[in-house]
Each structure stands twice: as C-alpha cells, then as structure tokens.
Amino acid sequence: MAVTLTVNGKTQQVDADPETPLLYVLRDHLELNGAKYGCGIGQCGACTVMVDGEAVLSCVTPVLLLEGRRVTTIEGLGTRERPGPIQQAFIDEQAAQCGYCIPGMMMRAQALLQANPSADEAAIRAALEPNLCRCGTHMRIIKAVMRAGEAMRQNSRGGGAI
Amino acid sequence: MTRSDVKNPTRRGVLAAGGSLVVSFAMLSQAFSQEGEVQGTAPPAQPKPKLPGSLSGDPFLDAWIRIDAGGEISVFTGKAELGQGVKTALIQIAAEELEVDPASIRLITADTDRTPDEGYTAGSQSIQNSGTAIRHAAAQVREILLAQAAARWQVPADQLRAENGRVIRADGQALDYGSLVSAEILHVEAAPQSRLKPRDRFRIMGKPMPRVDIPAKVTGTPIYVQDMRLPGMVHARVVRPPRPGATLMDVDTATVERMPGIVTIVRNGSFLAVVAEREFQAIRAMRVLASSARWSEGARLPSPDSLIQSLKTMPSEQGVVAEKKGGGAPGSRTFQATFTRPYQIHGSIGPSCAVAHLENGTTTVWSHTQGAYPDRAAISEMLGIPPEQVRVIHVEGSGCYGHNGADDAAADAALIAQAVPGRPVRLQWMREQEHAWEPYGPAMLTEVRASLDQTGKIVEWNYDLWSNTHTTRPGPAGSLIAARSLPTPFEAPPAKLSITPSGNGDRNAVPLYAIPNMRVIWHFLPEMPLRVSALRALGAYANVFAIESAMDELALMADADPVEFRLRHLEDPRARAVIESAAEGFGWSRDPLPEGRGRGFAFARYKNLAAYLAMALELTVERESGRTRITRVTAAIDSGEVVNPDGIRNQTEGGIIQSASWTLYEAVTFEETGITSIDWASYPIMRFGAVPDKIDVRIMDRPGQPFLGTGEAAQGPTPAAIANAIRNATGKRLYDIPFRAEKVKAAIGV
Ligand code: FES
Ligand code: FES
C-alpha cells in the first residue's frame, strides 16, 4: 500500500503498510538516519521528530496519521557543511558522547524553541524530560539548547529564518 | 598474518600505490586485555626490552602508522570509539608527534583484518595503552623521516625539522613525507626509547580539540552500526525464551512464513530468529513467532527478596586482596557496617545491533563490540570455522559502558547470516531484550570494620566483599547467548578467582589511606544466578561506596572534618592535591546548611593506579517524599598528562551523572520466573528534572606524567559523596543502593 508523506519539505509516495510506525518508514524506506530506535514504546525519545512543528515520538506514530502533515527530521535542519543553528550549538558545546540520543534531543529542543524562542533553562529542562541520555551528557545538552535559543533570537532580530 | 594473505580490498588498493610503505601487517596475535589476563593464542614473542604501551604486543611501527607515496597518513588502533572521544584523542597524539595537521590523519579503529590486536576497549585504558603506543610510534616515524631526508640531502639530521607533513632544511628547502617513504622503511620494530616532543613545543596535545565525530552525529550522517545499509540487506529479529536455560519445544512457523516480506525463519536448537525484507516486517513476524513458541521451564531465578543478603551464604572461595600487620595501639572506637549494591544494567539508549554477511566462505561482522579479536575467536568457535574465515569490524554503536549485548548481537547476526548466504543481515535487539538479556553489573555485598586509635587515626581496617566475577567476556563461544542455544550448546566457561593489580570484583577494595593494619578479602562467588559481566568500573563502584561511606562515619567519630580526616591518612601528594582542589573549588565547609540540605565528599584513585578523583556535592532531600536531588558538584581529576581537556571534562561529567543515576534509582528486578525490569518504566534512570544545576570539573595539570585512565574515575566516588551528603542532610546513613525516594523516606522516618 502506498502512503504519501512530506518529509523535510519533500513529498513522496512510500510503499508501506499504513500501520507501520513512522520511525521504520524514515529509516528503512527513506534511508534517513536521524530518528533512532531506542525503545519502540514511547519511553526514551530517541525517535523524536517534528510533525507540523510539534515534537512527536515516531516509534508510536503510524504513518497513516501523517498524510498531509509536515514531518521534519534532523536531516531537515541542516547538513555537515551547513549545520542549522541547533546543530551548530551542539557542535559548539561539544554536546555528545555516544550521540545516539542527540538527534531526538535536538528535535525536541527545536520544537520548543520554535514555539517559545525565549525558553529559559527551567523550560528547557521541563521540555526535555521525555528524552533519555545514558552517557550523562545532560549538562552540555542544556547549554547547547540555551545557545541555540540565543542564536535563533539573534537571527530573527536580524530578520533571518529560524 | 603473512603478506600473501592480504585480502582486504582497501588494503590491496593501497598496496597498488607504488612506493607505499604499506607492505605488511605486523600482527602478532598477542595482546593484553584490559582486565589483566592475557588474550590470544600465539606464543609470546621472545623476551625483549619492554616497549611502551601496546607496542609491546605489536612492535612494528607500520602496524600503527603508515604513510603512502601521496603523503596520506593512516593511524591504526585496536581500540574502538565508544562515545568516549578516543578517536579524537588518538588523532591529537599522532598529529602532535608526527608534526602534521590533525585533519590529515585517517584513523582506522578495531578491525581484525587491519588493526593491531589490543584486546578490549575497556578499563579506561585506551589512552594509556594505545595512546602510548601511537605516541611512541609517531615520534619514531618522525625521526626515521628526518634521518631519511638527512641522508638524501647529506646533511646532519639535527639541522632539519619536521613541520606540517614535510621535512624542512635550514635554507627552506622541503621534502614531503610522501616522497621520503620508500619500500619498507617503517616496517621496523620500535625501539624502547623515543624522542618525544617536549611539552613546551606542543601545538595540539593538552588543548581542547573538537571531537571529530560530533558533526556527523548531529546531522544524521550514517555512522552507527544501527545506520548501516548494505546492498541487498535484510532485517532480522531474534525470539528469546522467557528465561535462560529454557529450550524451544515447539513453534508454529507456517503462519509466519506466509506473512509479507518474510525471507526465512532460522530455528537452530533453541535459537529462533526471523529474517524479512523490511525491518518492521521482521518485528511483526518476531511477535507472531514469540506468541506461538513453547519453551521448557529453564532455570528458575532465585527468590528476589533475599538474594543480595544471601550472597554471604552462597558457596564461595576466598581471595586475600591485601593483608598487612603494622602494629600500633589497639583501636578504641570501631565502625562496622554492611553495604550492598544490586544488579544494574548498562542500558544503552540504542539496543544492541550487528550486521553480518556470509560471502565466499567468509563471515564479516560489523559490531559495536569492545573487543573485535576476542569476538572473532568466539564467533568462529561457535560456527566451527577457522578464525580467518571471520572478520570483525568495529562500527560505533550507542554508548556501551562495559560488556553489554554487543557481542551477543554480533553472534546472533553471524549465525543468522549462515542461513542467507550472500545477503547482509542487520539484526537489532528490542528494548525488552536488551534489558532482560544483557549481562548485568553484579550485585555485591561488602562489610567494613574499622577502628580508630586515641589520636583519631585509623589503626585497623577489615573489609570483606562478596561478589561474582565482573568479566565473562568472549573469548570462549560459551559466553555468547547464541552459542548456548545451539542443539549442542556451548557451555559458559567456569569463572575463576584471580587477584590482579587492577582488580575485578575487588577493584579499589584496598583503601589508598595509610592504615597500619589491614585485611581485605574477596569472597568470590562462582555461581551466577543472574548473568553478569563488566559494567563500567567493575567492583570499584561498590567498594569505593563502602570505603568512602565508612571514612565519613570514622571522621564523625573522630569529630574531624571529612576532608581533613582524609588528608590525615594520605601521603601521596597527587591524592592530596585533588582533594584540596575539589574542596577549594566547591567552597567546602562544616557550617550547617539549612534544613534538608547536605554536602558530601569522596575520593578514590581509580584501580589505585589510574586517575585520581575527588568530589564534593550538595543535595536536597525533600522530607515529605524522600526525593533526593543533587544541586551542585565539584570534581577534581588528575589524569596525568592531559591530551584533550574537554574530553576529560565530558567523560567526568557523564560519569558523575550516570553513577548518580545508578545510585539514586537503579536496580534490576526479577521474579523466579524471569526478569521483570524490561523497559524504562520498570527500570527508571535519571531524567532532566533531576540533573544537577551545575557540575564543575577541575583538571590538574601534570605535564610530562604518564597518561592515566580517566573514563571510569567518577563511578566510585559518586555514590559515596551522595550517601555522605544524605547523611549530612538528614542524620541518616544509607547502606543499600539505590536510594529511591521511598527508601530515603523510610530511613528518615516521616
Ligand atoms: S524509540 Fe521512540 S520513544 Fe523510545
Ligand atoms: S550521548 Fe550517549 S546516550 Fe546521550
């Protein structure tokens, strides 16, 4: 069965059972690596992506719910050569050890900062609560999200895009 | 390996490049594992002067460093990137001594076809062993290139300098490294001594360098084994029994075979797996298979209520870890207590994964294993084929923190690949499989009895610990789940007690403090009711917890400040320095804090021979709920010569948070019928809401000192600092990890 999906601005047909969770369609059909499998039951946040600007756990979201909606993964935020503000902030803060949890963290932070560009540390901690990191990179993740918020605020003051 | 059996295409490509130094692999299959035992099967090399670091196992320079005619530099390490930033640090070391730009170095990590055998990447030994080897090899290669240029120009070598990949003459003429290499000039054995660069000329080492792997990790570039996608690849899932030892009686495969995308079902003894074209098809099929599979009873687990307390009554063998009689006045006051730590998991965020491919009789396995060579030995033994027909390549996975499911997943994939020759198989464990089947950090029980003399100094120290081994890694096939499930199952090798300098269950069981009379005994438990193996820091976590908790109680008894009390018993100036630095940075004092707040201190030198670490922390205990939250931490660490200060900071912050999570929340739960902590709800770990406001890491500057292992230094002091701070906040001492809210609440009696 084919499902029509819009991922990172590109609309395409995917030949998958409509009940397949988005996570597997992103990884297996569209060959995007950002969203990770961590638990498959909505407990860890490793699979977090954005749907219409909101953070969503792709491991528990069947693709059939996503027709006509905009899905964004970290691949849609920037590239190695041209990292987006949140990616640059994670690089600047060296906010990764193994890094497996980091894409999910970035997507949740991106959704937060888009909705609330002046989110403070308490708001960031609260927003990131669903996402687990086993390496203990938390301090740096918080700093990176604060830095990204600052960069985004400056960009929007300067008229640039988020 | 000889020159003629070079079979890897990349290497052949390099070989074709004329004038290359890449001629042979100096591979002696002998290496020393990190936990103190000798790995590998080849006879040891003749006695020679001891070479620095892992050069002693693999003395040829070109096993570590190769430069091709085009000047491309490859550095080889048998170690693996586990998220600890080792790649970056090794590149810094090589670039420093070779006098090249770090960006020009290609680092090749653990691969049984390409790199030296350095055993396991474990025990915080990568920089100590591999870093030392690479540093010396790089310095010697640089000197060879200088000598080569000197001969070419007919000038004394001391009139030349190496800079940015070239040798430069006083008059400014230069030769590229690539043009200086010829034939086999680097295929020589390393000398015991090297001309290392003096520190005042360092350009790269000792300075923070951005991690080379981070840009890829934040942009979704495929770098994890979980991200591998090979042409024709299929997806597999395994079906595990309800508990170890259960055998597969019956399963309905016909229904599953009719499901969409199914390639095959693998049933081999009690090993059951399904292979499908798509990943989610494999998961669905796994569920259907699991629901129809009937298993025999298997081994019942012990009753959970009493297990930890009953460690003391299990059959045991005694190992004397330390014994010393130095006289002195008899003790006047004695502290005595029992401490415990439960089984705990590694709990990587990404469950274990591997890709395996059987092609032309060779099985290639991509794995996030910590030991490519030992894993190859185990897998080939399981498959009943010679080791040369298995190649294990390390690819990064989710952080590992010790011996987790990586090797088992590699074996699962290798076994499944035999059923679909020609097609690469990607296997990932499900979350509940990771939680239930990875080997756990062993439960431990420890007893301290220590006495003070009249002057407030410790005169006598008795310490007993009850623990399994903390190492059941491969090597033998019997350490792999898949191999134990075959029709003729491989047996897990019996565990053996051995007392080594770096320790195992007894790691850090001997306090570093000056105490005249001491007796430390490991009651070694051969029987393993739950599967266990190496979890970051091994026994040091429980031992330092007990020792440093006892030190605090003894300080109270002596009416001494805990920091001063520790210093009173320490002669080693580096130990004293980290303690003083942590206390000063934290603003340590004995002034009372407001109700519900407390501060705690702890210290250890990891393994008593690696990095020194002291920490002070402050926390709050909410009286109504018993919830503990750490607010701020200051740690001081001495890792010897610093390669990448930011890397040390990152590792130490992470170690503190992880160990705090173990201490506050974590315990494997089980019933007689099986493991019940099978996800993040039944096995909670620290989340953002509980993370400290601030962690400060102070790094001691130790120019010219040997590298000291760093990655696990915080694991032991953290639980003790927390327990000491809870004691300070509430007046109650906690002895049994984890300190979950209900336990704290019960202890403080509200
Ligand atoms: S993988 Fe989706 S929440 Fe864990
Ligand atoms: S960086 Fe490893 S899990 Fe977060």
The residue written with tokens 């990191």 in the block is A133
Of the candidates B215, B350, B695, the beta carbon closest to that of A38 is on B350
- Contact between A100 and B225 under an 8 Å Cβ cutoff? The reply is no
User: Both A118 and A66 in a single domain?
Assistant: no
pLDDT tens across B161-209, in order?
999 999 999 999 999 999 999 768 899 999 998 999 998 999 999 888 8
The ipTM, to two decimals, is: 0.96
Nearest Cα of chain B lies from the Cα of A147 at a distance, in angstroms, of 15
pLDDT tens across A60-96, in order?
999 999 999 999 999 999 999 999 999 999 999 999 9
So what CATH class is B227-297+346-432?
Answer: alpha beta
Which of B395, B345, B376, B215 has its CA nearest to residue A90? B215
Chain A contact for B347 (CB, 8 A cutoff): yes
Decide if A67 is inside a domain.
yes
The C-alpha atoms of residue B474 and residue B407 are separated, in whole angstroms, by 8
The C-alpha atoms of residue B451 and residue B319 are separated, in whole angstroms, by 23
A57 Cα nearest atom in ligand 1: 2
pLDDT tens across B620-631, in order?
999 999 999 999
Task: Kindly indicate the confidence band of residue B47, based on its pLDDT and cuts at 50, 70 and 90.
Answer: low
SS3 B719: helix
Task: Kindly indicate the confidence band of residue B22, based on its pLDDT and cuts at 50, 70 and 90.
Answer: very low
Q: Which residues of B touch A27 (CB under 8 A)?
A: 279
Nearest Cα of chain B lies from the Cα of A33 at a distance, in angstroms, of 5
Can you give the residue range of the structural domain that contains A152? Answer: 85-157
User: Both A34 and A96 in a single domain?
Assistant: no
User: Both A40 and A96 in a single domain?
Assistant: no
Decide which of A45, A74, A103 is a domain's last residue. A74
User: Both A152 and A129 in a single domain?
Assistant: yes
Q: How far apart are the first and last CA of chain B?
A: 68
Supply the CATH number for residue A153's domain.
Answer: 1.10.150.120
Q: In angstroms, what is the span from residue B20 Cα to ligand 2's centroid?
A: 40
Which amino acid makes up residue B226? Q
User: Both A52 and A8 in a single domain?
Assistant: yes
- Contact between B541 and B547 under an 8 Å Cβ cutoff? The reply is no
Task: Kindly indicate the confidence band of residue A159, based on its pLDDT and cuts at 50, 70 and 90.
Answer: low
Query: What kind and span of H or E run contains B292?
Result: helix B279-292
Q: In angstroms, what is the span from residue B605 Cα to ligand 2's centroid?
A: 26
Mean pLDDT, rounded, for B400-419: 97
pLDDT for the residue numbered B616 = 98
Decide which of A49, A74, A99 is a domain's last residue. A74
User: Both A18 and A59 in a single domain?
Assistant: yes
pLDDT for the residue numbered B127 = 83
Chain A contact for B329 (CB, 8 A cutoff): no
B612-621: strand order across its sheet: B597-605, B612-621, B628-638, B694-699
- Contact between B118 and B86 under an 8 Å Cβ cutoff? The reply is no
Pick the CATH number of B3-33+49-213 from 3.30.365.10, 3.30.420.40, 3.90.1150.10, 3.30.410.10: 3.30.365.10
User: Both A91 and A118 in a single domain?
Assistant: yes
Q: In angstroms, what is the span from residue B288 Cα to ligand 1's centroid?
A: 22
pLDDT for the residue numbered B123 = 66
Of the candidates A96, A98, A126, the beta carbon closest to that of B218 is on A96
C-beta A123 within 6 A of ligand 1 = no
Decide if A114 is inside a domain.
yes
| Phi and psi at residue B59, to the nearest 5° | -80, -15
pLDDT for the residue numbered B308 = 87
Nearest CA to ligand 1 atom 3: A42
- Closest residue in chain A to residue B655, using alpha carbons only: A136
pLDDT tens across B126-149, in order?
888 899 999 999 999 999 999 999
Whether B1 shows a pLDDT value over 70: the answer reads no
CA dihedral (A45, B438, A135, B663) in degrees, to 10, reads 100
Sort B221 into a burial class: Cβ within 10 Å, 0-12 / 13-18 / 19+.
Answer: middle
Whether A162 shows a pLDDT value over 80: the answer reads no
Query: What kind and span of H or E run contains B632?
Result: strand B628-638
Total beta-carbon pairs less than 8 A apart between chain A and chain B = 177
Q: Which residues of A touch B85 (CB under 8 A)?
A: 97
CA dihedral (B91, B93, B99, B101) in degrees, to 10, reads 30
Neighbouring residues of B9: CB distance < 8 A, sequence distance ≥ 6: none
Does B470 or B71 have the greater pLDDT score? B470
pLDDT tens across B432-488, in order?
999 999 999 999 999 999 999 999 999 999 999 999 999 999 889 999 999 999 999
- Closest residue in chain A to residue B697, using alpha carbons only: A139
**Could you tell me what percent of chain B has a pLDDT over 90?**
80
**CATH T-level topology, domain B444-470+505-748:** Aldehyde Oxidoreductase; domain 4 (3.30.365)
Nearest Cα of chain A lies from the Cα of B350 at a distance, in angstroms, of 5
Which residue of B88, B211, B212, B218 is the best one to mutate when testing the A interface, meaning the one whose CB has the most A CBs within 10 A? B218
Supply the CATH number for residue A60's domain.
Answer: 3.10.20.30
- Closest residue in chain B to residue A24, using alpha carbons only: B280
Task: Provide the number of structural domains found in chain A.
Answer: 2
Mean pLDDT, rounded, for A129-135: 98
Q: In angstroms, what is the span from residue B83 Cα to ligand 2's centroid?
A: 8
Buried-state track B138-164, b at ≥16 Cβ within 10 A, e below 16: bbbbbbbbbebbbeebeeebeebebee
Task: Kindly indicate the confidence band of residue B241, based on its pLDDT and cuts at 50, 70 and 90.
Answer: very high
pLDDT for the residue numbered B499 = 96
pLDDT tens across B718-731, in order?
999 999 999 999 99
Chain A contact for B231 (CB, 8 A cutoff): no
- Pick the range with the lowest mean pLDDT from B102-116, B295-309, B439-453: B295-309
Query: Which residue ranges does chain B devote to CATH 3.30.365.10?
Result: 3-33+49-213, 227-297+346-432, 444-470+505-748
Contact A17 B214 (CB under 8 A): no
A135 Cα nearest atom in ligand 2: 2
- Contact between B366 and B372 under an 8 Å Cβ cutoff? The reply is no
Cα–Cα separations (whole angstroms), residue B179 to B141, B174, B175: 14, 10, 7
A98 Cα nearest atom in ligand 2: 2
- Contact between A50 and A106 under an 8 Å Cβ cutoff? The reply is no
Decide which of A12, A46, A74 is a domain's last residue. A74
Query: What kind and span of H or E run contains B282?
Result: helix B279-292
What does the mean pLDDT of chain B come to? Answer: 91
Which of A60, A91, A61 has its CA nearest to residue A74? A91
Peptide bond just before B738 cis, omega within 30 deg: yes
Decide if A100 is inside a domain.
yes
User: Both A93 and A124 in a single domain?
Assistant: yes
pLDDT tens across B245-295, in order?
899 999 999 999 999 999 999 999 999 999 999 999 999 999 999 999 999
Which of B224, B262, B233, B473 has its CA nearest to residue B351? B224
Decide if A6 is inside a domain.
yes
Of the candidates B217, B679, B686, the beta carbon closest to that of A96 is on B217
User: Both A68 and A93 in a single domain?
Assistant: no
Chain B contact for A109 (CB, 8 A cutoff): no
pTM recorded for the entire structure:
0.91
pLDDT for the residue numbered B40 = 33
Whether B3 shows a pLDDT value over 70: the answer reads no
Task: Kindly indicate the confidence band of residue B12, based on its pLDDT and cuts at 50, 70 and 90.
Answer: very low
User: Both A66 and A106 in a single domain?
Assistant: no
Cα–Cα separations (whole angstroms), residue B98 to B11, B51, B173, B500: 22, 19, 19, 36
- Pick the range with the lowest mean pLDDT from B25-34, B153-162, B236-245: B25-34
Mean pLDDT, rounded, for A147-159: 86
Decide if A80 is inside a domain.
no
Chain B contact for A36 (CB, 8 A cutoff): yes
User: Which B-chain residues 651-680 have CB contacts (< 8 A) with chain A?
Assistant: 651, 653-658, 661, 679-680
Contact A96 B83 (CB under 8 A): yes
